[in-house]
């Protein structure tokens, strides 16, 4: 269901919250929140899918870039939600040769040079995390396509949510597959979530900027009390946490008191148009919040059941995406942050043993681990 969540505040200027908080900024905000444990609850309700990208999806992207795109700066839905970090794109090493075998066909079909298609492919590769599965051979006597097995095995070994593919043979292998197009839904989720997180973070972290910000915050609270009460628990909690952090500092309290007095003294001088604009901001924020919630539900409903990831699966994925050596403590932190559950009393020790026994990790320094396939 399409949503008109991004209405301009002032049509003649095209001013929208989406322009202040583009989807590209979502990845940075996620990294910031992940680095601050106290703010991690704000990530609830934000999608992060781990998908193995099939060759037919990549070919579709290359054909769009080569033949359909008119503006070189335009992005497909796939490109945008990858930029936003809503999807972590995984792929077997085999994908490289599979796409290179079809570069000439894509060029002939789209009417561009092979060199141009190859350039698009190089650009797109930068957003894929390539992995070489340990076992990619089909079972003896199996009638499945060996090319399909490598995608299924990559998903299994990395604990990905699903394979993103249009291949009708993959579901026959009982592999979790997303075959419907989620590009537009994921893009809408990325845009709406960027606005929600941007405004929620900003409403707390910019309290110390000055009187102008305080005036806006004052009216935002005054006119948007109902909207704030309607926010999910994590958003209300984050605003409260930011406020507590600011007010806990004595000098900050004194400064805020001075600025608040100044804000109240000039509030009556502001034009009605300013209040109308702030009201539109509240409306747009609430619509973005609704869109983020609706698309989250839609995406979750489209995901096939894939089971809980094991310790080694999560460790592979974390080290693969990182691309650099990580300490056991950092791997442990990222795993637990992503919901991994363990009964081990000394999880770090257990994790170290799992990495050694897998045969896929190397210790590149004192307690620094790197995935060989990366």
| Boundaries of every domain in the chain | 19-184, 195-302, 311-371
pLDDT of residue 3: 38
Which value, to the nearest 10 degrees, does the dihedral of the CA atoms of residues 275, 278, 282, 283 take? 80
For 267-301, write each residue's pLDDT tens digit: 555 556 666 666 777 888 888 989 999 999 999 98
DSSP β-bridge partners for residue 365: 368
Q: What single DSSP character describes residue 359? A: S
pLDDT of residue 68: 85
What residues in the chain have per-residue pLDDT under 70? 1-15, 136-144, 203-278, 373-374
Predicted TM-score (pTM) of the model is 0.75
pLDDT of residue 370: 93
CA distance 311 to 360: 14
CA distance 297 to 228: 21
pLDDT of residue 373: 60
SS (H, E, C) 8-49: CCECCCCECHHHHCCCCHHHHHHHHHHHCHHHHHHHCCCCCE
pLDDT of residue 5: 36
Tokens 């896929």 identify what position? 360
| Centroid of chain to Cα 86 | 2
pLDDT of residue 125: 93
Which value, to the nearest 10 degrees, does the dihedral of the CA atoms of residues 108, 128, 26, 252 take? -150
Nearest Cα residue to 287 out of 184, 196, 182, 203? 196
pLDDT of residue 13: 43
* CATH of range 19-184; options 2.20.25.90, 3.90.550.10, 3.40.50.1010, 3.90.105.10: 3.40.50.1010
pLDDT of residue 213: 44
Note whether 47 and 8 are within 8 A (CB): no
pLDDT of residue 17: 80
171-181 exposure pattern, b = at least 16 Cβ within 10 A, e = fewer: eebebbbbbee
């Amino acid at each position: 269901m399409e949503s008109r969540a991004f209405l301009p505040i002032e049509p003649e200027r095209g001013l929208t919250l989406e322009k202040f908080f583009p989807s590209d900024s979502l990845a940075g905000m996620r990294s910031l929140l992940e680095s601050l444990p106290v703010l991690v609850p704000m990530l609830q309700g934000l999608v992060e899918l781990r998908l193995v990208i099939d060759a037919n999806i990549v070919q579709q992207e290359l054909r769009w870039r080569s033949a359909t795109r008119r503006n070189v700066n335009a992005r497909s839905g796939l490109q945008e939600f990858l930029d936003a970090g809503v999807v972590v794109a995984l792929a077997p090493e085999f994908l490289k040769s599979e796409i290179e075998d079809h570069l000439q066909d894509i060029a002939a079909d789209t009417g561009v040079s092979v060199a141009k298609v190859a350039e698009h492919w190089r650009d797109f590769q930068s957003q894929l995390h390539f992995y070489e599965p340990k076992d990619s051979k089909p079972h003896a006597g199996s009638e499945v396509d060996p090319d399909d097995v490598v995608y299924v095995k990559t998903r299994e070994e990395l604990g990905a949510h699903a394979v993103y593919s249009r291949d009708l043979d993959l579901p026959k292998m009982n592999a979790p597959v997303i075959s419907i197009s989620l590009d537009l839904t994921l893009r809408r989720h990325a845009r709406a979530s960027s606005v929600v997180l941007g405004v929620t973070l900003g409403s707390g972290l910019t309290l110390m900027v000055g009187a102008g910000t305080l005036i806006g915050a004052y009216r935002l609270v005054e006119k948007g009390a109902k909207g704030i009460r309607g926010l999910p628990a994590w958003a209300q909690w984050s605003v409260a946490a930011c406020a507590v952090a600011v007010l806990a500092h004595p000098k900050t309290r004194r400064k805020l008191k001075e600025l608040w007095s100044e804000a109240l003294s000039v509030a009556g001088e502001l034009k009605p148009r300013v209040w109308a604009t702030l009201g539109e901001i509240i409306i747009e924020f609430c619509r973005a919040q609704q869109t983020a919630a609706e698309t989250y539900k839609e995406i979750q409903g489209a995901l096939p059941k894939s089971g809980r990831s094991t310790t080694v699966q999560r460790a592979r994925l974390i080290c693969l995406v990182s691309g650099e050596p990580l300490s056991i403590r950092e791997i442990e932190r990222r795993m637990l942050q992503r919901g991994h559950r363990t009964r081990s009393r000394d999880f770090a020790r257990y994790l170290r043993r799992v990495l050694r026994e897998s045969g896929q990790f190397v210790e590149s320094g004192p307690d620094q681990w790197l995935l060989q396939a990366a």
